Amino acid sequence: MNIYLQTLKRDLRVAIRNPSSVLNPLLFFIISVSLFPLAISPEASTLSQIAAGIIWVASMLAVLLSLNSLFHHDFENGVLEQMVISHHSLPLLILSKITAHWILTGIPIILLSPLLGLFLFLDNESVKVLMLTLLLATPSLSLIGAIGASLIVGIKNSGMLLSLLILPLYIPILIFASSAVSQAQFGLDIAGQLYFLAAILVASIMTTPFVSSIALKISLE
Amino acid sequence: MLSLNVNNLSCQRGYNQLFSELSFEVNSGDILRITGTNGSGKTSLLKILAGLNAPEEGEITLGNRPVKSDGYQSEVFYLGHLSALSAELTSIENLEFLTGLNQSIDQQQFVKALKQVGLAGYENEHCGKLSAGQKRRVILAGLFISNAKIWLLDEPFTALDPQGVKIVEERISKHCEQGGLCLFTTHQDSALPNQKVLAL
């Protein structure tokens, strides 16, 4: 467990000292959401209907944008090699890197979402549900995304490949999360969607670090 | 007494057979220099011995511990072509993380090790600002304070000045006198005493 915290601390430190890699996806998130009222309509009734979808799609794309850097720098400088040959569990080290990624990308998105929700005329109750869905599902975005990031780590200019690999896997999350917010707007029960998002999260935590470690070993060979 | 046994090892990269049916034994105190032309498989052999790559055939054991087992990996320090340092972190922070992957080391030891490789005063310097030779010295400082018995060094003298080369040679000799073993590749002349040679 100590090595988990050490790796987490190290990744957070690296990211804080290279803030552009953290800030770029967040700026993309804010800018892309704020462009929708200009392109579609500034009407509250129109925006509130599509707000959850807009915020969720922008969140996914922002996470996707940040995934390229999850393993890339460590691959290039050789730190990943040292992690692979260490006697510590590689899935644990990967889980630590994914946690750092979520702290740097997922948490800021969750914290920004109420502001952007209100900007798109979401009511207070729906904003709470939006935050809850993001809290439950952004870790899954980082976890699932890590599989794609580890598969493409040795390939140059692989941004498009990562999107093709990962976006289909994100679709169930997008459907359940945005439908939870839409149903909450009509006062309907959202327990089913939340349970589904929680189940995806548990399944992702249990499996993705192992799959990702296999993919990384293959990429390093 | 450590004994690293390599039996019938074969390695292929693409359509190229780099080496086949390679067998040798390295014991405590041995220094094995791996020689060969570019592309002969020196780096591939060290990566296989480090547990980073899998061989086509053959087996590697340290006593009765096979490669990639916890007991084997905790005894290995692999120094590759890459620096293994993050540009955003200081020398000490990098060493803290890298050595922490295998053992827990007191921070004072890092300061001492950096001094030994001629980097006193660079403890809090970000590695992105260091020269290639200085980066090499940082990772060598990590090697010198590690508890690993098996040193796998791929071109350890690259980017080092003559004084740096001398420091590394002295440390390799000392390590092997104390019961460790070292396998290394180099295209440079090496003054290491009693070195065995494996030609690929």
* Closest C-alpha to A70, from A2, A166, A137: A166
Contacts of A155 (CB under 8 A, 6+ apart): A161
Distance CA B159, CA B74 (A): 28
* Closest C-alpha to A177, from A106, A98, A95: A106
Distance CA B53, CA B88 (A): 28
Contacts of B144 (CB under 8 A, 6+ apart): B113, B116, B117, B171
Burial of A156: CB neighbours in 10 Å, binned 0-12, 13-18, 19+: exposed
A68-96 pLDDT, tens digit each: 889 999 999 999 999 999 988 999 999 99
Q: What is the pLDDT of residue A25?
A: 93
Q: Is the pLDDT of residue A1 over 80?
A: no
Distance CA B53, CA B198 (A): 20
Interface test with B, best of A10, A11, A218 (most B CBs within 10 A): A10
Q: What is the CA radius of gyration of chain A?
A: 18
Listed in order, strand segments (DSSP E) in chain B are 3-13, 16-27, 31-35, 57-62, 65-66, 76-79, 150-154, 181-185, 195-199
What are the structure tokens assigned to A177, written together? 């999360």
Mean per-residue pLDDT, A48-58: 93
Look up tokens 């290039």; give the residue: A76
Q: Looking at the 3D structure of chain A, how many domains does it have? A: 1
B100·A6 Cβ contact <8 A? yes
Q: What is the pLDDT of residue A201?
A: 96
Measured between beta carbons, the chain B residues lying within 8 angstroms of A221 are: 52-54
The continuous run of DSSP H or E covering A156 comes out as none
A85·B54 Cβ contact <8 A? no
Crossing angle of helices A2-17 and A90-101, in 10° steps, is 40
What are the structure tokens assigned to B152, written together? 């796998």
Mean pLDDT by 10 residues, chain B (200 residues): 89 86 90 89 92 90 88 90 91 90 81 89 90 92 90 90 89 90 86 82
Q: What is the pLDDT of residue A187?
A: 87
Distance CA B19, CA B42 (A): 10
Q: How far does chain B reach from its first CA to its final CA, in angstroms?
A: 27
A152-196 pLDDT, tens digit each: 998 887 778 888 999 999 999 999 999 999 999 888 999 999 999
pLDDT band at A106 (very low <50, low <70, confident <90, very high): very high
For B5, phi and psi rounded to 5 degrees?
-110, 130
Residue of A nearest to B81 (CA): A78
State how far the alpha carbon of B191 is from the alpha carbons of A171, B12, B36, B152, B174, in Å.
62, 32, 18, 18, 14
- Structural domain of residue A201, as residue ranges? 2-220
* Closest C-alpha to A218, from B197, B52, B147: B52
Contacts of A189 (CB under 8 A, 6+ apart): A183
Residue of A nearest to B135 (CA): A77
Interface test with A, best of B47, B48, B82 (most A CBs within 10 A): B82
Q: Is the pLDDT of residue A137 over 90?
A: yes
Distance CA B143, CA B76 (A): 10
* Closest C-alpha to B118, from B138, B101, B98: B138
What are the structure tokens assigned to A106, written together? 């997922």
CA dihedral A63→A66→A68→A74, nearest 10 degrees, is: -130
Are the CB atoms for A101 and A92 separated by under 8 Å?
no
Q: Is the pLDDT of residue A10 over 70?
A: yes
State ipTM: 0.89
| Least Cα separation, residue A166 to chain B (angstroms) | 27
pLDDT band at A132 (very low <50, low <70, confident <90, very high): very high
Residue of B nearest to A218 (CA): B53
A87·B54 Cβ contact <8 A? no
